[in-house]
Structure 1
Amino acid sequence: MVLANMNPNVVGVAELWYWTVLESYVLNGAQYERWILNGLASINLLPSRCILPYLDYPLSWTSDKVHSFTGRSNRSGVKVPKRRTGTALKLSELYIIYTPAHDPTYRRRPLHTWRSLQNKIAAVTGGARGIGLEVVRALAEAGATVALIYTSSKDAEETADKISKDTGSTVKAYKSDVRDKASITATINQIASEFGRLDICVANAGIAAHHDSLEYAEEDWHEMMKVNLDGAMWTAQAAGKIFKQQGPGAGSMIFTASVSALLVNIPQKQSAYNASKAAVVHLAKCLAVEWTEFARVNCISPGFIATDMLSVHPQEWRDTWFGLIPGKRLCDPAELKGAYVFLASDASSDMTGANLVIDGGYTLP
């Protein structure tokens, strides 16, 4: 198969792409052929972009219809006009997915460059304290320009200035309220406008509370959901629109969830918190499928972390937690930094819809 008339959004590519049959197979009574691109190593695309290396479609397809791929390709949202074997296909007719892994220069790059965030623009909600503060530090240390988004911190600007001085990266504080769709949308848009783009967004802002479910007040329930779930959604929605405008493979969306999304913590009563974090994990999976063409979407679910959110709990609770954690200790927030940099960088270029659990073995059977 010859692919001609290249998509104008793809540059530095030869005039024609040639596809050959890799294998034939039958699925649900229909005969399929798998085509693979010849000379894949010679592709020269924009940085961090490439064409999906194979296509599957029924031999009986005609040229006047469009059909989603089956299996993995269908989940990726890739579509192709139906053609008969050996006919030409315009790349402009394809919804193309790009990843860094098939860029010819990618495999020759040293490993440390995959993790670099040089020239990347990142935004982190809840960035003034706890896990969010360590995420801001981590991304700045990896070379990114970072927007520290906060709601009520009195020293956020000073914190941003100090991290900037310590790392040599630009770090700037922005006040916003993730509960308010208009507020966080305006902030994300402002960040992208000021820095020219947005490459990474971390929806980290969150709160926790402990109430008996039979006594849960309506306003307390709604507040938990507004911050933890609504805030995550509005942050992601604003960032996602920018990622899509920037083109294929443009963004990395990261949610801070919790092991509370996977199990019921004891002895504390956290029905609302647990439900909100479980919803965040599933939200991320949904967006990972929807956004395949322009962003990767992943979660990090920390276990018990030594932050101010845990310091107020009774010692008997802490003793219970230590008894359930194989390592008998809390995780230091700094121990999460590598995971966030990994998901933000090209090192995780084929990773989307994942939930990284970092809990010292707490969730093991």
Structure 2
Amino acid sequence: MTAATPRTTREVRLATIPAELPTERHFTVTETPLPEPGPGQVLVRNRHFLVFPGLRTLIGGEVDGVQLPSLRAGDALFGPAVAEVVSAPGDGPLRPGALVSHMLGWREYALVDADGCTALGDALPDPVAYLSPGSAAYGALTRLAGIREGDTVFVTGAAGAVGSLAGQIARILGAGRVIGSTGSRAKAERLVSEVGYDAVVLRGCGQPLADQLAEAAPEGIDVLLDNVAGEQLVAALDAARQGARFALVGTLSGQMSPQRTGGNSPVEIDAFRLVVKGISLRGYTGADHPDVEKEWTARFGDWLRSGDITFPHTRVPGIDRAARAFQEMIEGKHFGAVVVDL
């Protein structure tokens, strides 16, 4: 540890388990001693970390089938981060000053096992873009949905971190018409003007989603990229064309429900319609498609440099504002991904 490195660091911890949706008051920023690296460990200074909806599930504790552990009162939060190496084993490939990604965000400094760090090259023009969850959208659209030239694609939760990229990816892959959903008129306008959606259906506007979708896609939809489930999945089934392909990436309708703990999202669907229309409905997880991340990063970098795609995100300065940023994400106040800058 160098003389310039502080002896303490700050991290965001879960203060109490909320009875409903987490708010800023359920978290605390705590100063803690900065540990000395042991054998095979890397000390990093976090530069940016991602605020992501999955924390809601980890806080709720309903993590059956989830590859991350639940969070208990007093635990430090964690999640994707981009960091600068402070010190590393002399026999390893990492050197001080190198940029890496790892899963110990929500703190200023982190002690990470060397095999838990991924060195970042220059595939992406901005290191913050490594925090994009766009690989989920790309993987679902290429591995499950198999977009065909001219397809009509419906993306639920289109203004979120995954959805704001999914529409752009679908267009590049050949979609003829891309429709999104959101609960905000302002976001609906941005989806059309900034990220190329052809039409947007508006949740909570007084008009049934199924009716709006029928107007936006009078000939039906070929592909669903679903981040929400719930009534939006039901509306998509009503609009599905013969042989439609549904790829489920998230279940925000259950995850962000005050009545649930984030680990379930029940919905009643018409199985008869699935059968007679020959609809495929599959869930996507990155662990099932380990080849996607590298492929996505290469293509994402090319598309960013060419201007074919943008990375919509909101940047929040400082660890003291991180818990507020998480609450605001739950409340739907941000467009695209939410990143905390340190």
Q: Which has the larger radius of gyration?
A: 1
Q: Which has the higher strand share?
A: 2
The alignment's TM-score, normalised by the length of structure 1, stands at 0.34
**Structure with the largest fraction of helix:** 1
TM-score by length of 2: 0.35
